[in-house]
């Protein structure tokens, strides 16, 4: 994981904070589209695990891998008890009685401090510095967790050997019936069409920059620190899972796949990796902001 300097720059810029609406990491597309689609796929599976743990007389234990400032916790805390709707009137899936503990781990101390300040509850919702590519912390009393959660492309920070070892470690520690939510950058997202290839072994990663945090007028004068991110397709993910299953001697069953490449990616706006991309993300963001109109250029 080589993104430390880039994230330090992002935090220092002040544009990595929430909320932002039209720009930045918490823009409207993420909050009102991407997060809702993620919830649609997670909720029904998680409901079954919550119900099972309730029958066992305890709450859900969550390990958030690469938690940052708590974005994953915020997403999970907002999950509705049914995936039919995201309306505020629906009861939350992870109510106080259904959550045993949440532990978010990350390498960036500033983001962890923000997570503690925003969401921290001693003994219930905690944040700690750890590298999940090396070792996994234990749950209460040395137990495993019920949900190993990643979000917003976290696992693209890992190479295949690290991903495989992570799954082996999860298999060795996890509670029976545990769920892993794994999230990568999709290989065939239109925002980086210049990297598309069927010879995937020749382009395993992309050199990523977080230029989307800045307004267009400021991007040309900024020096961004790049870092490698793993691009993944379904066959590549399947290969890693199969190797981890062989090594762990455990059954790792894939419940579902969803290709996030269908979203309007952040770099549609910057055209950093596809000069022909139409900058649609800002237009989509404006749809959720009152007082903004869309005017086409002649």
pLDDT in tens, the chain (298 residues): 556 555 565 555 555 555 567 777 788 898 888 998 888 889 999 999 999 999 999 999 999 999 999 999 999 998 887 655 555 556 788 887 889 999 999 999 999 999 999 999 999 999 999 999 999 999 998 999 999 999 999 999 999 999 999 999 999 999 889 999 999 999 999 999 999 999 999 999 999 998 888 888 888 888 888 999 999 999 999 999 999 999 999 999 999 999 888 889 999 989 999 999 998 998 888 888 765 554 444 4
Does 246 map to a domain? Answer: yes
Asked, for residue 292, whether it belongs to a domain, the answer is no
Instruction: Answer whether residue 291 is part of any domain.
Output: no
- Does residue 295 lie within any of the structural domains? no
Q: Facing residues of 102 across strands?
A: 62, 125
Domain extent for 181: 4-286
CATH number at residue 127: 3.40.50.150
User: Is 150 a domain residue?
Assistant: yes
H helices within 233-279, ranges in order? Answer: 234-248, 267-270
Domain-embedded: residue 184: yes
- DSSP run (H or E) holding 119: helix 109-119
What CA dihedral angle connects 277, 281, 283 and 284, to 10 degrees? 130
Domain total for the chain? 1
298 is a domain residue? no
Long-range CB contacts for residues 156-161, cutoff 8 Å, separation at least 24: 156/184, 156/185, 156/229, 156/230, 156/231, 156/232, 157/1, 157/2, 157/3, 157/66, 157/227, 157/229, 157/230, 158/1, 158/133, 158/230, 159/204, 159/230, 160/204, 160/230, 160/236, 160/240
Q: Is residue 297 part of a domain?
A: no
């Amino acid at each position: 994981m080589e993104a430390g300097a880039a994230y330090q720059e992002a935090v220092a810029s002040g544009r990595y904070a929430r909320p932002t609406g039209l720009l930045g990491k918490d823009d409207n597309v993420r909050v009102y589209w991407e997060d809702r689609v993620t919830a649609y796929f997670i909720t029904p599976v998680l409901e079954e695990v919550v119900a099972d743990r309730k029958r066992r007389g305890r709450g859900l234990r969550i390990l958030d891998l690469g938690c940052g400032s708590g974005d994953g916790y915020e997403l999970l805390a907002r999950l509705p008890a049914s995936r039919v709707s995201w309306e505020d009137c629906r009861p939350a899936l992870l109510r106080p009685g259904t959550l045993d503990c949440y532990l978010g781990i990350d390498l960036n101390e500033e983001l962890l401090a923000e997570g503690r300040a925003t969401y921290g509850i001693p003994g219930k919702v905690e944040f700690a510095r750890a590298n999940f590519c090396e070792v996994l912390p234990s749950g209460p009393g040395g137990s495993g967790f019920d949900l190993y959660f990643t979000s917003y492309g976290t696992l693209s920070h890992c190479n295949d050997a690290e991903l495989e070892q992570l799954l082996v470690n999860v298999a060795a520690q996890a509670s029976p019936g545990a769920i892993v939510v794994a999230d990568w950058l999709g290989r065939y997202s239109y925002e980086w069409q210049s990297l598309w290839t069927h010879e995937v072994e020749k382009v395993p990663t992309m050199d990523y920059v977080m230029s989307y945090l800045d307004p267009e007028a400021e991007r040309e004068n900024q020096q961004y620190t790049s870092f490698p991110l793993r691009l993944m397709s379904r066959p590549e993910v399947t290969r890693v899972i199969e190797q981890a299953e062989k090594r762990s001697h455990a059954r790792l069953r894939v419940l579902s796949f969803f290709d996030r490449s269908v979203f309007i990616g952040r770099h549609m706006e910057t055209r950093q990796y596809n000069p022909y991309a139409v900058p649609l993300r800002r237009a989509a963001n404006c749809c959720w902001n009152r007082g903004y109109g869309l005017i086409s250029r002649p």
